[in-house]
Structure 1
């Protein structure tokens, strides 16, 4: 389904009702900026929840079967309801005394049930395109003119050209790509068996040089450690193990000055990277900063 720019503006027959719902959503959510920030992360979290990379090794939506893709949609709906904080009524949400259905699709048509299109009721429609890492959320009315013929279950898909009758709240905003795509998951899961934790952490960074490692990945790697971050630090942690081998283990808390000298991107406070020098100049910089022996 191609996402089209909205034609729902003052004077459009749906504008008044959809704008009331839009303003109601903004009010309970805390404003447009809150929705713009929270919604993309809700999409990412829902996808990763169903992919379950640590247990299954899967990191992309195309690896899911059709039933699991349905679960992604349900999880997105749950997360959206949670961050909006809207009460549940006869339908999925109550916005300004109006029952609103939530309908999600992973790039297909939204399927509207009879109880909603019978009264041309409002829907909060959601679309996410994993290949683009972009997401959309808006409100529309389930009008007869916007819908295809019913399927065997009585549900009706939204016509491709009717997408322009959606009033968008979030339009084509990027959501975070999966942090797990950067790692070979079969090796990751095998490595989680290695003991002790410090040796496991050191080997992981040897296998993933110059790859930014978010804290959540490190914690998943060291899932059985009481203090997983201790295994990454000095004082007999992975940093000391790797330093002797000429590999610098840097974090966003202390390592960004070194990374700037190496002309590498800065890290957030919850990210790590292991650098084995490729040139004598890199070796000189890392030794000068006491990052390697």
Structure 2
């Protein structure tokens, strides 16, 4: 389903009611900025929760079955309810004096139940497109003219052309792509069996040279270690193992300047990367900071 720009502006028959609901949502959530920040991350977290990459090795929604895709929607709804902190009423949320349904889709139509469309009630609708890492959240009234014919369960989908009658709160916001897509998850799960932890960490970075590695990946790799970050240090850690091999293990706090000097870019916070020098100049630079040895 294509997400269309909203035509709900002053003068539109739904504007006053939907705008009141939107303002009510912003008020209880702490404002527009808070929603723009929290909602995209909630989508990412919900998808990863169901994918469960560490245990299953899956990193993409297409690897889920239909039941699991339903779980993604439910988890997004739960996270949104937590973000808003709104009470549950007859429907999913109470915003001001209105009961509001939450409906989520992973790119199909939102399915509106009879108890909502009978009264042309409001719905908080959510859409996420994993292939684009973009998400939408808005409010719409379940008007007869906006809906398709009922299915066997009596639910009615929103017509593709009626999407323009959604008043958007979040429109096409980017959310973080899965950090796990960059890694061979079968190899990752095998490495989690390796002991001791320092050897495990060193082998992981050998296998993933030049790849930014978020701290959460390191913590998942070293899940059984009391102090996972200790396994990356120079003394009795992966840096001490890799340095003599000519591999530098750098981080955003130890090495961003050098990485930029070596045309590797800048690492985001809480991220690590192992690199091997590509020429004598790089080798000399990494030796000067003690990242590698002769």
**TM-score exceeds 0.5:** yes
Counterpart of 2:176? 176
Q: What whole-Å deviation, never above 9, does each CA across 1:230-262 have from its counterpart, x for those lacking one?
A: 001111100111001010000111211111211
Counterpart of 2:151? 151
Q: What whole-Å deviation, never above 9, does each CA across 1:117-152 have from its counterpart, x for those lacking one?
A: 010000000000011110000000000000000000
Counterpart of 1:139? 139
CA distance in 2, matches of 1:139, 1:269: 35
CA distance in 2, matches of 1:115, 1:61: 30
Deviation at 1:266, TM superposition (A): 1.3
The change in CA–CA distance for 1:269 and 1:174 in structure 2 (over 3 A counts) is closer
Counterpart of 1:123? 123
Given that 1:126 and 1:136 are in contact with CA atoms closer than 8 Å, whether structure 2 keeps it comes out as yes
| Aligned residue runs from structure 1 range 245-284, under 5 A | 245-284=245-284
Structure 1 unaligned regions, length at least 5 = none
- SS in structure 2 at match of 1:150: coil
CA distance in 2, matches of 1:233, 1:91: 52
CA distance in 2, matches of 1:35, 1:3: 19
- SS in structure 1 at match of 2:11: coil
Give the TM-score taking structure 2 as reference length.
0.99
Number of residue pairs aligned between Structure 1 and Structure 2: 293
Deviation at 1:53, TM superposition (A): 0.3
CA distance in 2, matches of 1:183, 1:10: 49
Deviation at 1:155, TM superposition (A): 0.3
Counterpart of 2:57? 57
Given that 1:261 and 1:285 are in contact with CA atoms closer than 8 Å, whether structure 2 keeps it comes out as no
| Aligned residue runs from structure 1 range 16-55, under 5 A | 16-55=16-55
CA distance in 1, matches of 2:257, 2:5: 44
Deviation at 1:269, TM superposition (A): 3.2
Structure 2 unaligned regions, length at least 5 = none
Deviation at 1:268, TM superposition (A): 2.8
Given that 1:253 and 1:268 are in contact with CA atoms closer than 8 Å, whether structure 2 keeps it comes out as no
Counterpart of 1:109? 109
CA distance in 1, matches of 2:9, 2:148: 24
Aligned structure 1 segments of 4 or more residues deviating by more than 3 angstroms: none
